[in-house]
Amino acid sequence: MACVAWSISGHLSTRKPLHSTPQSRSLIRCNNVLESRKWKQNGKPITVGLDYNGQATSLPSFLTSPNQFLDKIPDQKNDTRLRIFSGTANPALSQEIACYMGLELGKIKIKRFADGEIYVQLQESVRGCDVYLIQPTCPPANENLMELLITIDACRRASAKNITAVIPYFGYARADRKASTQGRESIAAKLVANLITEAGADRVLACDLHSGQSMGYFDIPVDHVHGLPVILDYLASKTICSDDLVVVSPDVGGVARARAFAKKLSDAPLAIVDKRRHGHNVAEVMNLIGDVKGKVAVMVDDMIDTAGTIAKGAALLHQEGAREVYACSTHAVFSPPAVERLSSGLFQEVIITNTIPVSERNYFPQLTILSVANLLGETIWRVHDDCAAGFEPYSSLGID
């Protein structure tokens, strides 16, 4: 298998990978897998691991560090006891994560019976192993959630030592409270957290939860990583004058996220779109707080579902004189008619990550898909090795 070795500093190394040492296994990226995954940026294919002009590039800046830290990184211990399994929700991302870690995905059999029931069988021993199950609960949410629960149960009954549910996208996260003006509603985020815990998971690794309070719904440890550094690294590669930038929150609830994003983006000014929501998946823009005239507006949100909020917000920004509008989001749910709204000409570019798989029929010229495989892969190694998140080379990973 053709491989390229990356040093901790992020520079391409021409030496042969040392497969015999555990530490070197975490520094391997496999070309033949990544070459088959091609994303589109402004209608042009992009291969993960290459820059936006098709040239070989280093790892993103938030995953790099000076060489002097190399000796401080602990050896991967008991990596023969580390097992990674993928569900059917996003196998491409799972393969990229395993490849970054220099490991093979575990053998697992998942099938549906004629009546829709799910069958899971692990086809290798996990007795005494630390198992990581990669399965976002993206649409179809109920199918993927049930598959995750059954897979956790299969690992528990196979005597796995520790089971970590790696959930790049946590479905039902928006149902995290009762609405202030309504009652008699379920809090489904807490229910799903209970289901995952009772199924046998010992830990959860999630990416960009809709609200931080969701971590408190779990009675087990939760490692929360943020996908926005991946988008920040991409935006840093674009030739946009920092004086022209303004970061926009599409609603009041996302102000904290947008403020943190603006601080990392050369401490850019902040604007807020005030909206009134009249129903689920229906939003009405009312006001803009802040100045965007003649500016390049970067709208930041954790997810894009039907794109109603972000599209109406972009229309308001253009009315207020914004020169260009970019949309940035970690999770691309893309429920209809999201693609039509996003490709209508309101946005210069729509930047998302691959926490949720995007089918080719939903590609459009303004779409850019970035990979979070390196981020999640490095986080898995650090969780497996019981490393503190504040360790200097990786302090910007954003693990809570």
Convert the pLDDT of each residue in 16-63 to its tens digit.
333 333 444 433 344 444 444 444 554 444 444 455 555 555 555 545
Burial of 206 (0-12, 13-18, 19+ CB in 10 A): buried
Amino acid identity for residue 339 in this structure? V
Burial of 231 (0-12, 13-18, 19+ CB in 10 A): buried
Instruction: Give the residue ranges of the chain where pLDDT is below 70.
Output: 1-79, 180-181, 277-285, 388-400
pLDDT of res. 366: 96
Alpha-carbon span 42 to 45, nearest angstrom: 8
Adjacent-strand bridge partners of 296: 245, 324
Q: What is the DSSP letter of 50?
A: B
Alpha-carbon span 331 to 369, nearest angstrom: 10
Q: Which domains does the chain have, with CATH numbers?
A: 3-227+374-386 (3.40.50.2020), 228-354 (3.40.50.2020)
Query: b/e per residue, 349-380, with b = 16+ CB within 10 A?
Result: bbbbbbbbbbeeeeeeebbbbbbbbbbbbbbb
Name the residue with tokens 């779409």. Answer: 367
pLDDT of res. 234: 94
pLDDT of res. 342: 97
Structure tokens at 350: 């729509």
pLDDT of res. 61: 56
- CA-nearest of 125, 99, 218 to 167 is 218
Adjacent-strand bridge partners of 120: 110
Displacement of CA 309 from its chain's centroid (Å): 21
Percentage of the chain lying above the pLDDT 70 cut: 74
pLDDT of res. 32: 43
pLDDT of res. 60: 55
- CA-nearest of 79, 29, 88, 86 to 58 is 29
Adjacent-strand bridge partners of 300: 328
